[in-house]
Every structure is written in C-alpha cells, then in structure tokens.
C-alpha cells in the first residue's frame, strides 16, 4: 500500500519551475491568455529572471548594470513592478526537489509542498565544471549566472591580465573578445577540437573565425586539453597546464591570472528524473511536439526541452530564441491551446565588431556559398545540403534574416551556387510562388 500523499500547503494554477527566460516568457504568455489564473515561478537563483546573453557581452564589458530590462540598459526580463501588476509571484532561492505527478504537488528543497494545476519544467542548465586538479582555485571561473558574470567583470577590471579561456564555443569566444576589449595582456584559447566550431563550420569558415581572433591579439591551442590548474604563491591560479590531445610532447604551462572555463552546460534534469518523467540522457526532458512531457499536465521548455525537430530528430537547443518561443508555445498549451512547436534554430553572438547570426542547421559537410566576401566583414554564408537551403550564417549582414529563416523552414531548394552568390538574388524568392 502506498502512503497517502502529504496535502499541499497551498495550490497555484500554474507552477513554473526554474527562474530563467523560458519560465519568465511562459508567465507573460499565460497572463495574456488567462487573466485570473494564479502563477508562481519557483527559482533556485536569488535573482528575478534575467537574460543571459548580455552576461558575456555588454554586462561583461561594464556597459550596462543589472537594474533595467534587456535592451534598456539592464539584464532583467521584467522589472519588479511588473510581477505585482501581472500577479506573477516568484519564490527565489527555493529549488524544487520533485513533483508528485499523480497528486499534482511539488516539493521544494525547504520542505514546502505546493499543489498545481499545470506545471512547466524550465530548469535549464548549469556550467559544466572541469574535474581536474586545481579546478576550485580562486581565479578559475565559469560563466552561466549573473553572479558569475559580476565576478568575472570585477576581475577583468584589472588591466594587463593574462587570460586563458578553456573552450572555443560561442560563450568562450565572446568572453575572449571582451577580455581583450578590457585590456587583457594576453588571451589564449584552448580546446580539444582541432578547429573553431568544427561541428558547424567548414574548414574555410573556421579558419576565417580563428583568423579574426588572431588578428586582434588572441592565440589558440586547438587539439589540446587542460590537465591541471596550477596555484601561484598567493594561492590563486597562476597557470593552466595543457597537453596535446594525443598525449604527445611535454605538458605546457600557460600563465593565467584568470582561467575561464567555458566547456558547455550540464542540463538540470534532476527534477524531472526524480519525478519519474522521461528524460533523454543527452538532450533533457522528453516532450512531444506540443512540449508536453510524459506526465499529465506537465510541460517543458527552454534549454531543457528535448523535442522532435524535423531535421535533427529528438534534440534540444541552448539558445535564447528557443527559450522564448518554446516558453510561449508551452504557455499556450498550458492554457488550453493546441499549438505545435515549430522553430528554426537560431542563435546570435557578438565577437569584437562581428555580429554573428546563425539560422538553421549548419554542418561542415554542407556546400557553402558566400554572399559578398569574408574579408569585407559583412557577408552571409549559405549552407546547402542535398540541394536544400539548410542554414545561413550572417556576419554583420542581417537584413535578409527573415527570408533565410522562411527558406530554411520551408526546406527550399537552392539555386545553383553562382545564382546564390549573386547580390542580385533575393532570398525571399525562394519561398514565393
Ligand atoms: C553567458 C551566456 C551568454 C549567452 N549568449 C547567448 C547568445 O548570445 N545567443 C543565444 O542564442 N543564446 C545565448 N545564451 C543561451 C541562452 O541564454 C539560454 O539558451 C537561455 O538562458 C535558456 O533559458 P532557460 O530558461 O531554458 O534556462 P536557464 O537560463 O538555464 O534558466 C533556468 C533556471 O532554472 C533554475 N533551476 C534549475 N533547477 C531548478 C530547480 N530544481 N528548481 C528551481 N529552479 C531551478 C536555474 O538555476 C536557472 O536559473 C547564453 C547563455 C549564457 C550563459
């Protein structure tokens, strides 16, 4: 006989688990669709929901302070009065431990039990740590949260630092570019991979991106792994020891006053797993094309949601735009809608004076046509696979972004590469007629 469920101390109509962008967007959308339902966001962090992209950009450079909404000089999704006006309650510093999906209750780490009508799991991810000696030394830092970004920007305020960035993903590269902007004496990027973004870019595009960094003072050790962080006499990190991936040669100690670890995230799947909700080990909480999980009245959105993508199969996308769109679709369905989640993957990244916008499904085996010239610092690389437009990387060149998105969504057939490269060719014609 199973023990009767402990009665909840209170009940809300909509329980949003995770205080990030997906939850905050879902709250906005629920309120648009349901004027009176009670909404509660339960968050591990002790901040109101904020946008993470500025943390490695404007905020890191010290150009904005937290207290404003994103785009208006701050990082927050909404300012404090909005929550009162829209009757959206937040509980900060209060992680959820598990759901009882039969009794429809959530147990918080502090023991509180909250009943819900509909729940959203939007627990995102945390920075992956490196499990090597010295990983907890002062000066070894990761960049996921507002607190992380504050600590890094305080450190970067000291000019002349020797910075080692581990990981050449977009967050690592943004941090590297901004460390140089803040006057670092040296910035060295270390990665296990053999070239920049090898899963997405062709050799030529990788070489171009790496060249842009080297031209501005960064250096790279690709095909190398860190094996230890070495402490100096003051107990802070003083060097990063790296070794060639194949173990050849002697280890090399790179001097470092700041070692920034940007090696991806670990998805926060614990709540779903503890609640008996189906989780894909690589891609997070499994949802159907309505973002509904395997449990009744529980949806998932944002980085954590592993949904059926028409090109990638079951997949999750760790992108700002996906957190917003999936938060909106989940909210629509939580309030009685019947919306399929269809979304062309998109991310943006600012590195030095290069505004990168990537749409779709880039891959190194694609046939890539460059519109304009890479050397001009304003071009679009169009990725074609099997005769179909699959992706577009726009570098300081986003005027035709909507047309490329439509073409990718439609699986539009590509014209010959000469036509595609021509400035007279309008990508909007790909989906017309
Ligand atoms: C520095 C940085 C820069 C970025 N820049 C870009 C960019 O330029 N372009 C782009 O497209 N994307 C960018 N991203 C990615 C983008 O920010 C994420 O895709 C987005 O934040 C995902 O939102 P989310 O709400 O799904 O998850 P998160 O933002 O991870 O929020 C989830 C929240 O849930 C909390 N949580 C976890 N477990 C629990 C629990 N048990 N109970 C309660 N709360 C819990 C977490 O602490 C976290 O606060 C960037 C990310 C970072 C870190």
| CB neighbourhood size of 313 (10 A) | 9
pTM of the entire structure? Answer: 0.96
Band (3; pLDDT cuts 50, 70, 90): low
**296 CA to middle of ligand 1, Å?**
25
Of 385, 67, 14, 383, nearest to 197 by C-alpha is: 383
Lowest mean pLDDT among 6-10, 80-84, 136-140, 258-262: 6-10
Is the beta carbon of 98 within 6 A of some atom in ligand 1? no
- Cβ atoms 7, 111 nearer than 8 A: no
d(Cα 240, Cα 225) in Å, to the nearest integer?
10
Maximal CA-CA distance, the chain: 73
Q: pLDDT by residue (tens digit) across 304-313?
A: 999 999 999 9
**HSE-up (13 A, CA, CB side) for residue 98:** 9
Domains assigned to the chain: 10-126+265-334 (3.50.50.60), 140-261 (3.50.50.60), 353-431 (3.30.390.30)
Q: Is the pLDDT of residue 1 over 50?
A: no
Q: pLDDT by residue (tens digit) across 162-184?
A: 999 999 999 999 999 999 999 99
| CB neighbourhood size of 81 (10 A) | 8
* Coil, strand or helix at 328: helix
Is the beta carbon of 44 within 6 A of some atom in ligand 1? yes
pLDDT of residue 432: 85
The number of the ligand 1 atom at minimal distance from the alpha carbon of 22 is 25
The rounded percent of the chain whose pLDDT value lies above 90 is 97
Residues 6+ apart with CB under 8 A from 432: none
Burial classification of residue 193, based on how many CB atoms lie within 10 Å of its CB (0-12 exposed, 13-18 middle, 19 or more buried): middle
pLDDT of residue 9: 87
Band (233; pLDDT cuts 50, 70, 90): very high
d(Cα 60, Cα 179) in Å, to the nearest integer?
9
- Record the tokens describing residue 87, joined without a space: 């009757």
- Cβ atoms 388, 430 nearer than 8 A: no
Q: What are phi and psi of 63, to 5 degrees?
A: -90, -15
Q: Is the pLDDT of residue 6 over 90?
A: no
Q: pLDDT by residue (tens digit) across 389-421?
A: 999 999 999 999 999 999 999 999 999 999 999
Q: pLDDT by residue (tens digit) across 335-383?
A: 999 999 999 999 999 999 999 999 999 999 999 999 999 999 999 999 9
- Record the tokens describing residue 110, joined without a space: 């502090």
- Cβ atoms 347, 321 nearer than 8 A: yes
Band (92; pLDDT cuts 50, 70, 90): very high
The number of the ligand 1 atom at minimal distance from the alpha carbon of 55 is 1
- Cβ atoms 329, 350 nearer than 8 A: no
Taking all residues of the chain, what is their mean pLDDT, rounded to a whole number? 96
H/E element holding 393? strand 388-395
**294 CA to middle of ligand 1, Å?**
23
pLDDT of residue 58: 95
Q: Is the pLDDT of residue 118 over 60?
A: yes
The number of the ligand 1 atom at minimal distance from the alpha carbon of 321 is 11
* Coil, strand or helix at 396: coil
d(Cα 142, Cα 176) in Å, to the nearest integer?
13
Q: Read off the pLDDT of each residue in 245-266 and give the average, rounded to a whole number.
A: 96
Residue minimizing CA distance to atom 27 of ligand 1: 124
Q: pLDDT by residue (tens digit) across 262-287?
A: 999 999 999 999 999 999 999 999 99
Q: Is the pLDDT of residue 2 over 60?
A: no
d(Cα 18, Cα 298) in Å, to the nearest integer?
14
Is the beta carbon of 256 within 6 A of some atom in ligand 1? no
- Cβ atoms 326, 318 nearer than 8 A: no
**20 CA to middle of ligand 1, Å?**
6
Q: How many helices (H) and strands (E) does the chain have?
A: 9, 26
Band (252; pLDDT cuts 50, 70, 90): very high
Residue minimizing CA distance to atom 47 of ligand 1: 44
* Coil, strand or helix at 41: strand
pLDDT of residue 433: 65
């Amino acid at each position: 006989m199973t023990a009767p469920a402990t009665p909840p101390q209170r009940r809300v109509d909509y329980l949003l688990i995770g205080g990030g962008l997906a939850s905050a967007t879902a709250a906005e959308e629920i309120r648009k669709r349901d004027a009176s339902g009670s909404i509660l966001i339960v968050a591990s962090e002790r901040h109101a929901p904020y946008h993470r992209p500025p943390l490695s950009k404007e905020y890191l450079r010290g150009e904005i302070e937290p207290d404003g909404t994103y785009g208006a000089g701050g990082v927050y999704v909404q300012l404090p009065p909005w929550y009162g006006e829209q009757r959206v309650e937040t509980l900060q510093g209060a992680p959820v431990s598990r759901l009882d999906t039969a009794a429809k209750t959530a147990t918080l780490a502090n023991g509180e039990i909250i009943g819900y009508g509909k729940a959203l799991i939007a627990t995102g991810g945390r920075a992956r740590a490196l499990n090597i000696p010295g990983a907890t030394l002062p000066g070894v830092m990761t960049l996921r949260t507002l607190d992380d970004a504050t600590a890094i920007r305080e450190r970067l305020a000291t000019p002349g630092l020797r910075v080692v960035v581990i990981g050449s993903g977009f967050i690592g590269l943004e941090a590297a570019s901004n460390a140089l902007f803040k006057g670092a004496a040296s910035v060295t990027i270390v990665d296990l991979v053999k070239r920049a973004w090898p899963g997405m870019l062709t050799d030529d595009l990788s070489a171009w991106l790496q060249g842009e960094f080297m031209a501005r003072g960064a250096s790279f050790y690709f095909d190398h792994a860190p094996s230890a962080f070495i402490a100096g006499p003051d107990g802070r990190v003083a060097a990063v020891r790296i070794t060639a991936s194949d173990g050849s040669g002697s280890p090399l100690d790179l001097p470092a006053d700041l070692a920034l670890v940007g090696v991806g995230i670990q998805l926060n799947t614990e709540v779903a797993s503890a609640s008996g909700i189906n989780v894909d080990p690589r891609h997070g909480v499994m949802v159907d094309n309505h973002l509904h999980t395997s449990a009744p009245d529980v949806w998932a959105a944002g980085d954590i949601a592993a949904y059926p993508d028409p090109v990638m199969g079951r997949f999750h996308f760790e992108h700002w735009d996906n957190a917003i769109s999936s938060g909106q679709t989940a909210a629509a369905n939580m309030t009685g809608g019947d919306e399929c989640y269809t979304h062309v993957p998109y991310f943006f990244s600012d590195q030095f004076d290069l505004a990168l916008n990537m749409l779709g499904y880039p891959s190194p085996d694609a046939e890539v046509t460059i519109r304009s010239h890479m050397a001009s610092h304003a071009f679009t690389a169009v990725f074609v696979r099997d005769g179909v437009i699959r992706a577009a990387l726009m570098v300081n060149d986003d005027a035709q972004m909507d047309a490329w998105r439509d073409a990718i969504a439609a699986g539009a057939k590509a014209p010959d590469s000469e036509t595609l490269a021509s400035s007279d060719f309008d990508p909007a014609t790909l989906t017309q007629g």
